[in-house]
Amino acid sequence: MLTIRQYGDPVLKQATKDVEEIDGTVAKLVDGMVESMYAAPGVGLAANQVGVQRRLFVYDIGDGPRAIINPRIVESSGEWTFEEGCLSVPGLSWEIVRPKQVHLVGLSMDGDEVSIEADEYEARVFQHEVDHLDGTLLLERLNDDQRREALKILRARALAS
């Protein structure tokens, strides 16, 4: 099982680099990430959340596990509010407004081009994971009041540990 990095770990704030070759190392990483995502449990996991600075994420929103290599959001539209949490900031969640629809492109594990027009929940998962790969945590998506409250809780946690 891979260790999921927690808030405060600098690896979560670094942008990842594109995967150049989808080889056995990547396949092994994806298998480990899927296993760790299910164990958490969560619906998505980005590579830098397990300390690997490569641009890929895994997710399962009920249709089985999938990995997207070198994902990018090329278009987004609308607005949708949804209560969002993160395995790297456990036990906390916030109502966050983000685009409702996104168009995600990337590669499958076979190296085929992937193009997904996602809406609502799926679109939210994609935006959250692509944010991770850009070094952005959901805390940066909070409004001022939410962020103030969140940092208070996280500071108290850090002092208690």
Just list the catalytic residues.
Answer: 129
By C-beta, is 26 or 89 nearer to Ni ion? Answer: 89
Name the nearest CA neighbour of 57 among 25, 38, 29.
29
Q: Is the N-terminal amide bond of 65 cis, ω within 30° of 0? A: no
- How many residues interact with Ni ion (rule CB under 5 A)? 1
Is 56 an interacting residue with respect to Ni ion (CB under 5 A)? no
| Residues 12, 88, 95: CA angle, nearest 5 degrees | 110
Is 45 an interacting residue with respect to Ni ion (CB under 5 A)? no
By C-beta, is 86 or 133 nearer to Ni ion? Answer: 86
Q: How many CB atoms neighbour CB 59 within 10 A?
A: 22
Q: Which stretch binds Ni ion (CB under 5 A): 53-61, 64-72, 76-84, 86-94?
A: 86-94
Name the nearest CA neighbour of 141 among 158, 154, 120, 124.
124
Is 86 an interacting residue with respect to Ni ion (CB under 5 A)? yes
Applying CB under 5 A, the residues found at the interface with Ni ion are 86
